[in-house]
Every structure is written in structure tokens, then in C-alpha cells.
């Protein structure tokens, strides 16, 4: 029998702010976190803008040795996990440490460290490579270092499902609790890939926007003038608990996680198929897992990357699954403000989805001046909307054809 799983803590670093509160405040205000790249000299690149974390000082949370030896994606994970545990008012005690696990997803891991250490190898030889290089590069070391720091001895894993990694992590953590393998999970997604190789590589694919003169208008999901996504960085961590465990300790419950769906397109390494049947199927599976019907869904935090094919095909998938109800759905893309944070996306957008349920405010899709052909849903354009909702879905899709969907519900202790 599936156990109930609730969200009790949130922690985030995003291009919109260095906390959940600041990020959410700016999201519902419709502010953009996109600006010129500062992490490296991008003057020779096609794209010179990104969604960077700003004014982040890891020494407020970590010691100098940790900051010196860890890649940014690990630092972001440690800080966000600390925020989330503090928000949940939870310390991993010895009596339940073996029932507390960690799953943090990342598409790329320590790419900045990899680039730096490879440069040392080429310029000065192997003796100059840091002994901390490999642990700083490996994608699973976000989960590993969080587990070590906070004493979580239960199930540990790392999802590497490209742009769906954060959602895959939360979905796997949800199942870990629901089917009895843990009572608490520290989970989410992280990415720190605003680097020369990533920006150059996505530029060569013609996947990212070149609207360099208007960075705050560059990410424009569902708009007819969209020309690619904006790469971003960040981390979103949620604390999941089995319901009775959370109630017994008097935890504050933000929402209930009731469904998860994951499918593959089996189509193309980077492009979604027309109609995006795989996305529709993953949404259908999440709804079935929750014991709901499509007409029960009130809001979707869309994948909405600002790429021509993804936005159109996600719209088609929603319309094919929801039928007439699609006209009543509110759908918005917070990537219009954060950019696309790759593996961090699922974690941060799960947090935004939970906050939407909690506060009854739908974050907008900014920069939506003229909807593109075939993009004809209610995308909550430009301005946030006050509307009480009971169920909310978060969509993420990734390279390799992976589709991952989470379904959250307002917590009701009588159900």
C-alpha cells in the first residue's frame, strides 16, 4: 500500500534570489534574473547572457576548505539543503538517520572543475591536477556531500537525466518513501554550468538565444519571437517526509506530493517529437498515480523553454491529454524569468509549484507579447494571477527523450 508523502522544507539558490523567499517574491513580481555573463569572458561567443546566481557568498554557510575543494554545484547543494532542513526544522538524528536518504539530480555535475583541471593538464602536465578534482567533478557528489554533512545514512542516488534530472530525483525520492524504503528524503536538482564549454556547446547547437542586447527579454516561452533558451544555474532542494513521520514531529506541511510520471520519447537525442506523445503519457501516468482525473488539474508549471519546437509540442501534448479542460488550465513558464537551469530546473520549479499551491498565486510567463502559432493556452502572460488551486503539475523534459512530471496537491489531513 502506497504511503503518503508530504513536502515539509524548501531551500533554493536561483537567478532570482539566494533564498526561496527572495526567488518567489521576484517570480510573482515578474522580474527577470537574466543578465550578461560574468563567470568568464564571453565576448567571442554567440550568446553572452545567462541566468547566474548573484552575490552568493558560500563562506556564510561553509568553511574555506569546503569552498576551495568543491565545485559550485556541490556548494549550491550543501547550502540549499541546509536552508531546506532549517525550513523544515529538521535535524537528522541518529534514531532515524538510516531512514533518511538523499537524491539530488544534475545534468552535468562539476563541469567548471573539469574545464579548469583539463586546462592544467594541457598546460602544466598531470602533476598539477588537484587530488580533489575527481570528487569535485562527479555528479553524485552533490548527494554524497549532503549525505556526509547532515548524517543521512539511508538510500542515496543521483539522477542524471539531463534537463529532467531534478524532477527525476524528486520522483524517485517520492517513490522511495511511498514504498517504505525511507521516511525522509533530501532531494532536488542542481546545476552550475554557466561555463565556456556549456555555453559554447549549446551555442553550436543553436539551442540558446542570441538576444544579447535585451537579456531580460531573451527568455520568452510560447512567444512567436522566441529564439532559444537561456542557460541558467541554481539549486532547488525539498524535504519529503512520510505523512505520519511528519505529523508525529509536528512538521509544517507545504503540500502533498501525490503523483509522478516518467517516460521516454524514443525519438531523438535532443528534439521532442511532434505532438509530444511521451510528454502527454508522462502527465497521464502522474495523474493516474495520484488517483485523479485530468479535469482535476488546476495549474501546470510548464517546461516552457523558449525554444520553437518544445513550446509548441508541449502545448500540443497538454491539449491532447486534457481535451476541453485544456482551455480552463492555467499554464506558465517560470523559465521566462530564471532561464533554463538544466538539472536544477526540476527542483526549483517544484518549489515554485508548491508555493503556488500554498499562496494561491500563479507566477506569470513574462515576455509573452504575441503567442506563437499553435501556442494558444492560458499562459498567465506578464502578470501573476491570484487564484486558489488544489492541484498543480510540474513538467520537465530532457535530452535523450526523457519526460518527468510531478503532481502536487494541497494537503488535506482528512484524506
List % helix, strand, coil for the chain (3-state, nearest 5): 40, 20, 40
Phi-psi region of 26 (alpha: psi -120 to 50; beta: other; left: phi over 0): alpha
Most distant pair of Cα atoms in the chain: their distance: 65
386 labelled catalytic: no
Indicate the pairing of strand 100-105 with strand 156-157: parallel
Pair 280, 274: CB distance under 8 Å: no
- Residue 148 phi/psi, 5-degree rounding, is -65, -45
262 labelled catalytic: no
Give buried/exposed letters for 174-185 (b at 16+ CB in 10 A, else e): bebbbeeebbbb
Pair 100, 154: CB distance under 8 Å: yes
- Residue 145 phi/psi, 5-degree rounding, is -70, -35
Pair 13, 142: CB distance under 8 Å: no
- Residue 258 phi/psi, 5-degree rounding, is -115, -10
Instruction: Give the Cα separation of 331 and 302 in Å (integer).
Output: 6
In sequence order, what are the residues at sequence separation of 6 or more whose Cβ sits closer than 8 angstroms to the Cβ of residue 65?
none
Pair 185, 176: CB distance under 8 Å: yes
Which one of the listed residues 235, 262, 276, 303 is annotated catalytic?
303
163 labelled catalytic: yes
| Sign of CA pseudo-dihedral 335, 24, 54, 108 | negative
Which one of the listed residues 158, 163, 235, 262 is annotated catalytic?
163
Which one of the listed residues 235, 262, 340, 375 is annotated catalytic?
340
Instruction: Give the Cα separation of 412 and 415 in Å (integer).
Output: 6
Of 268, 285, 297, give the one whose Cα is nearest residue 398. Answer: 268
Residues noted as catalytic: 163, 303, 340
Amino acid at each position: 500500500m502506497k504511503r503518503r508523502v508530504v513536502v515539509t522544507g524548501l531551500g533554493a539558490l536561483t537567478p532570482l534570489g539566494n533564498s526561496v523567499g527572495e526567488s518567489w517574491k521576484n517570480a510573482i513580481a515578474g522580474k527577470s534574473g537574466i543578465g550578461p555573463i560574468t563567470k568568464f569572458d564571453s565576448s567571442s561567443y554567440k550568446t553572452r547572457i545567462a541566468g547566474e546566481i548573484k552575490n552568493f557568498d558560500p563562506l556564510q554557510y561553509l568553511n574555506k576548505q569546503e569552498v576551495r575543494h568543491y565545485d559550485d554545484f556541490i556548494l549550491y547543494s550543501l547550502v540549499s539543503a541546509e536552508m531546506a532542513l532549517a525550513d523544515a526544522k529538521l535535524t537528522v538524528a541518529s534514531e532515524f538517520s538510516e531512514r533518511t536518504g538523499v537524491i539530488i539530480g544534475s545534468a552535468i555535475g562539476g563541469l567548471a572543475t573539469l574545464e579548469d583541471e583539463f586546462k592544467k593538464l594541457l598546460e602544466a602536465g598531470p602533476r598539477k591536477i588537484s587530488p580533489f578534482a575527481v570528487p569535485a567533478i562527479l555528479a553524485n557528489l552533490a548527494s554524497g556531500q549532503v549525505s556526509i554533512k547532515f548524517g543521512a545514512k539511508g538510500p542515496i542516488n543521483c539522477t542524471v537525466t539531463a534537463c529532467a534530472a531534478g524532477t527525476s530525483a524528486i520522483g524517485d525520492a517520492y517513490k522511495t518513501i511511498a514504498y517504505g524504503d525511507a521516511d525522509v528524503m533530501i532531494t532536488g536538482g542542481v546545476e552550475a554550468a554557466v561555463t565556456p564549454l556549456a555555453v559554447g556547446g549549446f551555442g553550436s547547437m543553436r539551442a540558446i538565444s542570441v538576444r544579447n542586447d535585451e537579456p531580460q527579454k531573451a527568455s520568452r516561452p510560447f512567444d512567436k519571437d522566441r529564439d532559444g533558451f537561456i542557460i541558467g544555474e541554481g539549486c532547488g532542494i525539498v524535504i519529503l517526509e512520510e505523512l505520519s513521520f511528519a505529523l508525529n514531529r509536528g512538521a509544517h506541511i507545504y503540500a502533498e506530493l501525490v503523483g509522478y510520471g516518467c517516460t521516454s520519447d524514443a525519438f531523438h537525442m535532443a528534439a521532442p517529437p511532434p505532438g509530444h506523445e511521451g510528454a502527454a503519457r508522462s502527465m497521464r501516468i502522474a495523474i493516474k498515480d495520484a488517483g485523479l482525473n485530468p479535469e482535476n488539474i488546476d495549474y501546470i508549471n510548464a517546461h516552457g523553454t523558449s525554444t520553437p519546437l518544445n513550446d509548441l509540442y508541449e502545448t500540443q501534448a497538454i491539449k491532447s491529454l486534457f481535451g476541453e479542460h485544456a482551455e480552463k488550465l492555467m499554464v506558465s513558464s517560470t523559465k521566462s524569468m530564471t532561464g533554463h537551469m538544466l538539472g536544477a530546473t526540476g527542483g526549483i520549479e517544484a518549489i515554485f509549484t508548491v508555493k503556488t499551491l500554498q499562496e494561491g498565486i500563479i507566477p506569470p510567463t513574462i515576455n509573452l507579447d504575441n503567442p506563437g502559432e499553435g501556442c494558444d493556452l492560458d499562459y498567465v502572460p506578464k502578470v501573476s494571477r491570484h487564484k486558489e488551486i488544489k492541484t498543480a503539475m510540474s513538467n520537465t523534459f530532457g535530452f535523450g527523450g526523457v519526460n518527468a512530471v510531478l503532481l502536487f496537491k494541497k494537503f488535506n489531513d482528512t484524506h
